[in-house]
Structure formats: structure tokens, C-alpha cells
Amino acid sequence: MSMHAVRLGVKRGWHEQILSLKSPQDQVFYVAMSLANVAFLWWKRNDTVEELGLSFPQVALPGILALVLAFGFLMSPAQVIAMEREDGTLLRMQSAPGGGVAYAVGHVVMNLTTIVPMLLVLVVPSVLLFDAGSQRGVGGWLVACAVLVLGASALLPVGLAIGTLAPDLQRAAMWSVVPLGLSALLSGIMVPVASLWGWLQPLAQGLPLYWVGHLLRYAFLTDASAAGELNGSWQVPQGVAILVVWSVVSWVAAAVLLRRSSRRQSGAAVADARVRAAQWVH
């Protein structure tokens, strides 16, 4: 793996990010996401969470961020990878020397840099309109950023692996929606884990999304808010350790899968996908 290819991978990811930010399609997506978030919090702006002594928007924001992180780093990469395998992007990159490495690195950079616009459109309005910022000041914000990067790093390879294993775009969509929905339900970012059946609770605590939610709540809420957590306390080192383990294991697995899959895609398969896509359009 040459440094030249890695450097060009970074350049590719950056170029893709700029193209995305310039594209009206993606701009509409960011605006819609921002408006939906504001509308939801506006609707519940006067609710308070009695046991924590905080407003609903303050308590909800970490969960919303965790959910968006799961969408952006589990589902979206899975579908983009499957799509780019079908439309020949992957094959075209692999036919150039070092192109396979540049392609993979480019995806990582493109996805990680997406955190920035995503945060801006969600967090800024929530803070300005609903005072939903971190209760811990600057330190809390820094922890939140670190958790988002760590969470993205734990989820992204899973998304890439799903996109690599799925035989086509339709199945990539299905295979990524199911784990996303299940882990969102189990991870306490939509409903508290404590309200799940007892046997599900340890399972939930093995999922990266549970710890992303937990650590984001820690970053945004107060020490006293730990009363709402499963063990009644903030488990920061444990959460970080689990996310690191997830990251390492899933990156290794994704790297192996990406390398193995490179032979499966041929020009003929790309041509077949093109015919299938044409049938969808007509």
C-alpha cells in the first residue's frame, strides 16, 4: 500500500465532499434534516423531563445526534458502496494502479468529513432556539465531538462491510435498514433501555450505538442526569473501551472484505446492473 495512493485517497474524499456540499440535492437534504429537527423540538419545546430537571429539547438532542450518526455511517455508506459497485465506480478505480486503496481511503475521508455539516445543521439551531447545548460548557462540547468521531469510526466499517457483502443495491438497502432499526430501538436513543425486557438489556449494552447514545448524553447533560441511565451512573471509560474495540474489529473485518470482494465485480456485472437500472427507470 503506497503512501501516494493513500494521499490521493484523502484528496478523493475531500473532492467528493466538496462536490456534495455544492450539489443542490445534498443541500436540500441538509436543509430538510435541519427543518425536521427544529419542527420536532419546537413541538415539544415546553415539555420538561421531570426526573432530570431539564427541558425535552435538551434531553432529546444527544439521542437525535446518535440516530443521525447511525443513518450517516451505517446505512448511507452501505448503499453508496453497493451503488458504486453496480455503476462501475469501483471497477474504474481498481483498474488504475493504487486505485483500490485510494477508493477505500476516499470513502473514509468523505464519510468522516460529513460529520461537520451534519452537526452544524442540527446543533446550531437546537442551541440557538431551544438552549439545548451542553450543560458542561466547552469541555462537554469537546467530549461530544470526540464521541461522534469515535462512534463514526465504530459504525462506518460496519456500513462499508454491509455494502460490500450485499449482492445488489436493493439488498444493501435492506441489510442496512434492519440493523439500523434494531440497534436504534435497542440502544436507548428512542426509548430508554430500562423500559426494554430485562434479557435485552445486556444485548443492548454490546451495541456501539448504545454507547454512542450514553456518551453523548454524558457530554450534553449533567452529572445528576446519570440517574436516568441503566446503572444510575456515567460509565465513560467502559463506553470508550467498547467503542474502540468495535472500531478495531470492524475495521479489520471491513478491510478483509473489501479486498476479497474486488474480484467479484466484473464489467459484465456492471453491464447487467445497467440493464436492471434502465428497467427501473422506464
Partner 1 sequence: MTTSPGSFSVAPSTAVTDLRMRYGTADVLMGVSFNVAKGEVVALLGPNGAGKSTTIEILEGVRRRSGGEVSVLGADPEIIDEQWRARVGMVMQSWRDHARWSPHDLVEYLGRLYDPYAAVSGRPRWATEELLKMVGLDRVSRQKIRTLSGGERRRLDIAIGVIGRPEVLFLDEPTAGLDPEGRRDVHELIHGIVDRDDTAVLLTTHDLDEAGKIADRILVLAGGRIVADGSADALAASLARDVQIRWTHGGRAHVHACAEATGFVRQLLTGPAGADVKDLEVSRPTLEETYLALVATHHRGANAPLDEKAVV
Cα–Cα dist 65/148, whole Å: 8
Position among 5, 67, 105, 154 found at the interface with partner 1 (CB under 8 A): 5
Cα–Cα dist 52/58, whole Å: 10
Instruction: Match 478523493 to its residue by C-alpha cell.
Output: 12
Asked whether position 99 contacts partner 1 by CB under 8 A, the answer is yes
* Count of CB atoms situated within 10 Å of the CB of 49: 15
Asked whether position 15 contacts partner 1 by CB under 8 A, the answer is yes
Beta bridge partners of 48: 55
Asked whether position 271 contacts partner 1 by CB under 8 A, the answer is yes
Query: What crossing angle do the helices spanning 99-113 and 76-86 adopt, rounded to 10°?
Result: 150
Residue 88 or 228 having the CB closest to partner 1: 88
Asked whether position 268 contacts partner 1 by CB under 8 A, the answer is yes
Position among 50, 197, 237, 263 found at the interface with partner 1 (CB under 8 A): 263
Cα–Cα dist 82/168, whole Å: 6
Asked whether position 23 contacts partner 1 by CB under 8 A, the answer is yes
CB of 242 to partner 1, least distance (A): 37
CB of 91 to partner 1, least distance (A): 6
Tell which residue, 36, 68, 33, 75, has the closest CA to residue 189.
Answer: 68
Position among 65, 73, 80, 84 found at the interface with partner 1 (CB under 8 A): 84
Q: b or e along 171-208 (b: 16 or more beta carbons within 10 Å of the residue's beta carbon)? A: ebbebbeebbeebbebbbbeeebeebeeeebeebbebb
CB of 178 to partner 1, least distance (A): 26
DSSP secondary structure letters along 192-250 = -GGGS-TTHHHHHTTSHHHHHHHHHHHHHS-GGGGGGSTTSS--HHHHHHHHHHHHHHH
Residue 29 or 141 having the CB closest to partner 1: 29
Position among 52, 61, 69, 91 found at the interface with partner 1 (CB under 8 A): 91
CB of 46 to partner 1, least distance (A): 43
Span of 14-22, 118-126, 183-191, 225-233 interacting with partner 1 by CB under 8 A: 14-22
CB of 192 to partner 1, least distance (A): 42
Binding mask 220-259 for partner 1 (x = CB under 8 A): ----------------------------------------
Tell which residue, 77, 239, 97, 87, has the closest CA to residue 160.
Answer: 77
Cα–Cα dist 12/84, whole Å: 14
Please report, in angstroms and rounded to a whole number, the separation of the first and last CA atoms in the chain.
43
* Number of residues written out for the chain: 282
Residue 15 or 241 having the CB closest to partner 1: 15
CB of 268 to partner 1, least distance (A): 5
Residues that bind partner 1 (CB under 8 A): 2, 4-5, 8, 11-12, 15, 19-20, 23, 84, 87-89, 91-92, 94-99, 102, 263, 265-268, 270-271, 274, 277
